[in-house]
C-alpha cells in the first residue's frame, strides 16, 4: 500500500519497496515491545491477586507505569562483567535471546490483511527461529564462566530440546488439517476451531510451549533453590533485562501462536470485512490464553528434573506419536469436507432445513462438522485409553513398592514378633 | 518465488538485532563503571571461586541431545507429508505408520535401556 | 555481469559461510569454533533462501543450527580436556587436507561439467507436477510416492532408528564398568 503511494509520488521502485518493508517491520517490532511493558503489568497484577497481594500500585494510576520506572532503573545500573567471562559470547547471548523471540512476530497474522509476511513455510519458520533461543541459553552459560550458570544452561538445554519434540509433533495435526504451513492458511482453514478438532494436540502444544519458555512449573532453568538463578546469574543491568524481556515476550507469543493455531486466530463475526475486528478478536483470545499460562505458572509447584524429563519422554512424546497416527487414520476415514458444494447449497435456492442450516451457521462450518466430530470423539477415546493405561501402570508400581515394604523391618508384624 | 517476502525477514532480522543491542549499549554508556577485583569475581555463593566452569560434563546430556536430534529429523520429514496428506491415498497413511512405528521401537529400546532416566 | 540486489545478498551470505568456516578451523577455543560453525550454517540457510528453497533453509536452521550445533557443544563439553585444547592444527591435518582437496576437485569438476552442458540434464530435472503452486505439498507427495522417494523415506526411518539404538548402546556401555 505504502509502496504504491510512494511510486506514484515519483520515487524509485526499489527504494519504495525497501521503505514499505521497513515501515512494516518498525510497526510490528514497536507493537511487540510496547505490548510487553503493558503485559508485564497485567501479569504482575494477576500474580499479586492470586497470591493475595496488591501488586504495583504506587507509580502512576494503578501502578501502570511501574514497568517504565523499572526499565529506567535497570538502564542506569552498572553492567558488571565477570573477569573470567568470554566477553563476545557473554554479550551476544542476551541479544540472540531477544532476536529469537522477536523474529516470531514476522509471520503472525494479526488480521486478514495485517501480517508481516505470509511465508509458505510460516509455521516451520516459527519453530526454526524458536530453536535459536536454546543456543542463546547455552551461550549465556558458557560466556559467564560460572559453574551455576553453565550447569543451569546444560539442564535448560536438556529441557528445551526435549520439550521441542512433543511440541513439534503436536503441530503436525493442525498442519495436516489445514494442508499448509502458511500461518494465514492455518487460520483460514479453521472453520471449526482446531481446539475442538484436536484437543490433545492443543493441550500438548500448550504444555510443551510453556516448558520451552521455562516458566513454572517448568522453571528449572533458573531453579532459585538449587542453581541460584541458572544461566543468567552473572548478568546485571540491561543485559539481564533483555533475558527478562525475552521471557515475557515469549510468553505472549506462545499465547498468540496458540490462538492462531487452535482458537481460529483473527476469525470471528465480521473479521473478513473489517480487518480491525480481527486484531481485536486475536487480542481477546490471546489474552485469555495468556491468563491461563500465568495462572498455571502461579499455582503449580516446580517439578523435579527427573520428573520433568520423564513426563516428556514417557508420557507426552508417546501420546503425541499416537495422536499423529490416530488423527491421520480418522482423517482418511471421513470424506474430505466439500466446501464448494456447501457454499453452493448455501447460495442456491432455499429448499428446507438443510440449506437454512448452511445459511445460518456458515457453509464451511457445517461442512467441516462431521470431520471435527469424528476427530473429537477419537481424541477423547485416546485420552481415556491413555489415562487408563497410566492408572494401571501406576497401580502396578505402587503394589510393587508396597510388596517391598512388607518384607522390611518397618512392617508392624515383624516388629511385634521381636 | 517472491524474494520480497524474505527481504522482509532480512530487514526484520536486522532490526530485531538492533532492538536489544541498543539498550545494552545505552546501559553500558549511562550506567556507572567501577569494577574492582572482588566485584568482577565469578559468583560462587560468596566463597572464593575455585577454578573455572569449563569442566567435563556427564554423557547423559549427550544422550538426550541425540534422542532429540533423531526425533527432530523425523519430524522435519513428516512436515511435507502432513501438508500433502489431504490429497494422498491410504498408502500415505500406511507408510507413515511404518515410519513412526520404527521410531517408536527405537524409543522403546532407549527407554528399556534406561537412557531416559535422569540419575 | 549486472550487479543486482540478489547478487549482493548472495555475496554477503557466501562471505558469512566462508568466514564462519575459516573461523571454525582457526579458532583456538572449541566452543567459539562451534559458534562460528553456527555463523557458517546461517550463511548456508541464507543461500538456500536465495535458491528459492525456503523449506531447506528452515530445516537448516532447525536441525543444523538448533540441533547439531548443540550436539557438538555437548560433545565438546563431554570430552576430557577438549575445552582447554590449544592445538590449532589437529594431528591429522595432512589427511584432512587430502580429503578436502579431493572434495574441492570434485565440486570444481561438477561445476565445469555443468558449464559444458554435458551433465546439465542431471541438474535440470523437471519440477514435480504442481510443484510450483505448493512446493512443500509436492515434496510431501513425492516422499510417499512409491514411484519416487518412498524407499529413501522409509530407509531414512530405519537409519534414524539404527543411529539412535547404536548410539545408546555405545553410550550406556561406557557407563556400566
* pLDDT greater at residue B116 or residue A125: A125
* List of chain B residues with pLDDT < 70: 1-3, 44-57, 119
> Looking at this predicted complex, what is its ipTM?
0.88
User: Do A133 and A225 belong together in one domain?
Assistant: yes
Number of domains in chain A: 2
Sign of CA dihedral A358, A360, A366, A367: positive
Cell (9 digits) for A81: 562483567
Stretch A368-394: mean pLDDT: 90
**Helix, strand, coil tally for chain A in percent (to 5):** 75, 0, 25
* Closest Cβ–Cβ partner in C29, C69, C136 for A121: C136
- Give residue B35's pLDDT: 77
Stretch A58-79: mean pLDDT: 81
Residue A414 pLDDT grade (very low, low, confident, very high; cuts 50, 70, 90): low
User: Do C78 and C150 belong together in one domain?
Assistant: no
Cell (9 digits) for C40: 557458517
Q: Which residues, 6+ apart, have CB-to-CB distance to A241 below 8 Å? A: A71, A74, A75, B23, B27
User: Do A402 and A308 belong together in one domain?
Assistant: no
CB C28 within 8 A of CB C20: no
Cβ-based burial of B101 (10 A; exposed 0-12, middle 13-18, buried ≥19): middle
Range of the domain at A297: 77-315
User: Do B68 and B104 belong together in one domain?
Assistant: yes
Number of domains in chain B: 2
Range of the domain at B91: 59-113
Angle, helices A147-178 vs A237-262, to 10°: value is 20
Distance CA A5, CA A23 (A): 13
Q: Which of A280, A315, A350 is the last residue of a domain?
A: A315
For the cut 80, the answer to whether the pLDDT of residue A190 exceeds it is yes
* Each residue's pLDDT tens digit, A209-263: 988 887 778 876 666 656 666 777 778 778 888 888 888 888 888 999 999 999 9
* Each residue's pLDDT tens digit, C106-155: 999 988 887 776 555 555 555 555 555 677 888 888 888 777 788 888 88
User: Do C5 and C81 belong together in one domain?
Assistant: yes
Distance CA A276, CA A270 (A): 10
Distance CA C63, CA C67 (A): 5
Residue B28 in any domain: the answer is yes
- Give residue B55's pLDDT: 66
User: Do A235 and A342 belong together in one domain?
Assistant: no
User: Do B33 and B63 belong together in one domain?
Assistant: no
- The answer to whether the CB atoms of C73 and A138 lie below 8 A apart is yes
* Each residue's pLDDT tens digit, A266-275: 888 877 788 8
User: Do B63 and B87 belong together in one domain?
Assistant: yes
* Closest Cβ–Cβ partner in B56, B95, B96 for C80: B56
For the cut 80, the answer to whether the pLDDT of residue A32 exceeds it is no
- The answer to whether the CB atoms of C77 and B57 lie below 8 A apart is yes
User: Do A274 and A364 belong together in one domain?
Assistant: no
- The answer to whether the CB atoms of A78 and B13 lie below 8 A apart is no
The total of other beta-carbon atoms located within 10 Å of residue C51's CB is 12
Distance CA A181, CA A178 (A): 8
Tell me the nearest-neighbour CA distance from C63 into chain A, angstroms.
8
SS3 readout for C34-65 = HHHHHHHHHHHHHHHHHCCCHHHHHHHHHHHH
User: Do A348 and A398 belong together in one domain?
Assistant: yes
Q: Which 134-163 residues of chain C touch chain B by CB within 8 A?
A: 134, 136-141, 143-144, 146, 150, 153-154, 156-158, 160-163
User: Do A86 and A139 belong together in one domain?
Assistant: yes
Residue B21 in any domain: the answer is yes
User: Do A309 and A364 belong together in one domain?
Assistant: no
* pLDDT greater at residue A219 or residue A290: A290
- The answer to whether the CB atoms of B5 and A117 lie below 8 A apart is yes
- pTM of the entire structure? 0.87
Amino acid at each position: 500500500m505504502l509502496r504504491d503511494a510512494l511510486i506514484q509520488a515519483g520515487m524509485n521502485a526499489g527504494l519504495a519497496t525497501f521503505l514499505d518493508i521497513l515501515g512494516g517491520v518498525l510497526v510490528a517490532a514497536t507493537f511487540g515491545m510496547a505490548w510487553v511493558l503493558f503485559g508485564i503489568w497485567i501479569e504482575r497484577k494477576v500474580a499479586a491477586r492470586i497470591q493475595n497481594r496488591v501488586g504495583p500500585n504506587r507509580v502512576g494510576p494503578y501502578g501502570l507505569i511501574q514497568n517504565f520506572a523499572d526499565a529506567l532503573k535497570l538502564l542506569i545500573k552498572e553492567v558488571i562483567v565477570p573477569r573470567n567471562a568470554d566477553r563476545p559470547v557473554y554479550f551476544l547471548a542476551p541479544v540472540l535471546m531477544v532476536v529469537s523471540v522477536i523474529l516470531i512476530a514476522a509471520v503472525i497474522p494479526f488480521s486478514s490483511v495485517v501480517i508481516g509476511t505470509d511465508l509458505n513455510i510460516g509455521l516451520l519458520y516459527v519453530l526454526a527461529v524458536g530453536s535459536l533461543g536454546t543456543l542463546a541459553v547455552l551461550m549465556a552459560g558458557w560466556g559467564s564462566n560460572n559453574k551455576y550458570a553453565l550447569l543451569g544452561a546444560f539442564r535448560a538445554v536438556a529441557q528445551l530440546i526435549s520439550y521441542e519434540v512433543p511440541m513439534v509433533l503436536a503441530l503436525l495435526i493442525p498442519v495436516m488439517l489445514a494442508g499448509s504451513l502458511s500461518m494465514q492458511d492455518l487460520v483460514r482453514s479453521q472453520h471449526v476451531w482446531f481446539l475442538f478438532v484436536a484437543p490433545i494436540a492443543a493441550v500438548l502444544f500448550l504444555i510443551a510451549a510453556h516448558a520451552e519458555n521455562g516458566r513454572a512449573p517448568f522453571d528449572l532453568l533458573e531453579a532459585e533453590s538449587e542453581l541460584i538463578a541458572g544461566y543468567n546469574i552473572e548478568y546485571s543491568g540491561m543485559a539481564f533485562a533483555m533475558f527478562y524481556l525475552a521471557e515475557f515476550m515469549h510468553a505472549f507469543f506462545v499465547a498468540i501462536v496458540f490462538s492462531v493455531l487452535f482458537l481460529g486466530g483473527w476469525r470471528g463475526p465480521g473479521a473478513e470485512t473489517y480487518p480491525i475486528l480481527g486484531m481485536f478478536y486475536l487480542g481477546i483470545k490471546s489474552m485469555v490464553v495468556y491468563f491461563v499460562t500465568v495462572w498455571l505458572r502461579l499455582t503449580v509447584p516446580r517439578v523435579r528434573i527427573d520428573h520433568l524429563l520423564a513426563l516428556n519422554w514417557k508420557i507426552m512424546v508417546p501420546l503425541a506419536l499416537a495422536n499423529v497416527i490416530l488423527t491421520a487414520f480418522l482423517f482418511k476415514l471421513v470424506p474430505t469436507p466439500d466446501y464448494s458444494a456447501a457454499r453452493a447449497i448455501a447460495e442456491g435456492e432455499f429448499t428446507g432445513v438443510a440449506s437454512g442450516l448452511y445459511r445460518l451457521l456458515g457453509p464451511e462450518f457445517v461442512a467441516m462438522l462431521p470431520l471435527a466430530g469424528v476427530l473429537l470423539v477419537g481424541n477423547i477415546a485416546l485420552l481415556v485409553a491413555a489415562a487408563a493405561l497410566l492408572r494401571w501402570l501406576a497401580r502396578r508400581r505402587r503394589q510393587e513398592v508396597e510388596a517391598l515394604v512388607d518384607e522390611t523391618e518397618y512392617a508392624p508384624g515383624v516388629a511385634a514378633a521381636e | 518465488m517472491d524474494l520480497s517476502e524474505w527481504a522482509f525477514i532480512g530487514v526484520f532480522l536486522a532490526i530485531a538485532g538492533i532492538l536489544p543491542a541498543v539498550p545494552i549499549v545505552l546501559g553500558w554508556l549511562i550506567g556507572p563503571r567501577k569494577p574492582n577485583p572482588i566485584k568482577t569475581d565469578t559468583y560462587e555463593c560468596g566463597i572464593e571461586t575455585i577454578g573455572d566452569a569449563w569442566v567435563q560434563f556427564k554423557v547423559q546430556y549427550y544422550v538426550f541431545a541425540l534422542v532429540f536430534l533423531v526425533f527432530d529429523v523425523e519430524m522435519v520429514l513428516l512436515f511435507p507429508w502432513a501438508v500433502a496428506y489431504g490429497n494422498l491415498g491410504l498408502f500415505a497413511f500406511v507408510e507413515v505408520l511404518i515410519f513412526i512405528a520404527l521410531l517408536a521401537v527405537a524409543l522403546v529400546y532407549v527407554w528399556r535401556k534406561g537412557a531416559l532416566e535422569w540419575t | 555481469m549486472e550487479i543486482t540486489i540478489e547478487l549482493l545478498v548472495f555475496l554477503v551470505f557466501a562471505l558469512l559461510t566462508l568466514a564462519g568456516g575459516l573461523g571454525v578451523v582457526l579458532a583456538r577455543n572449541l566452543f567459539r569454533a562451534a559458534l562460528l560453525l553456527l555463523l557458517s550454517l546461517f550463511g548456508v540457510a541464507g543461500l538456500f533462501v536465495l535458491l528459492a528453497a525456503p523449506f531447506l533453509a528452515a530445516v537448516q536452521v532447525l536441525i543444523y543450527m538448533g540441533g547439531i550445533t548443540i550436539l557438538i557443544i555437548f560433545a565438546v563439553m563431554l570430552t576430557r580436556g577438549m575445552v582447554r585444547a590449544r592445538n590449532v592444527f589437529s594431528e591429522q591435518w595432512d589427511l584432512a587436507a587430502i580429503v578436502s582437496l579431493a572434495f574441492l576437485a570434485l565440486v570444481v569438476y561438477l561445476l565445469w561439467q555443468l558449464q559444458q552442458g554435458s551433465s546439465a540434464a542431471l541438474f535440470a530435472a523437471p519440477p514435480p507436477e504442481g510443484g510450483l503452486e505448493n512446493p512443500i505439498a509436492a515434496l510431501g507427495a513425492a516422499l510417499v510416492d512409491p514411484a519416487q522417494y518412498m524407499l529413501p523415506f522409509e530407509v531414512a526411518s530405519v537409519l534414524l532408528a539404527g543411529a539412535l539404538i547404536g548410539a545408546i548402546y555405545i553410550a550406556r556401555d561406557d557407563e556400566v564398568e
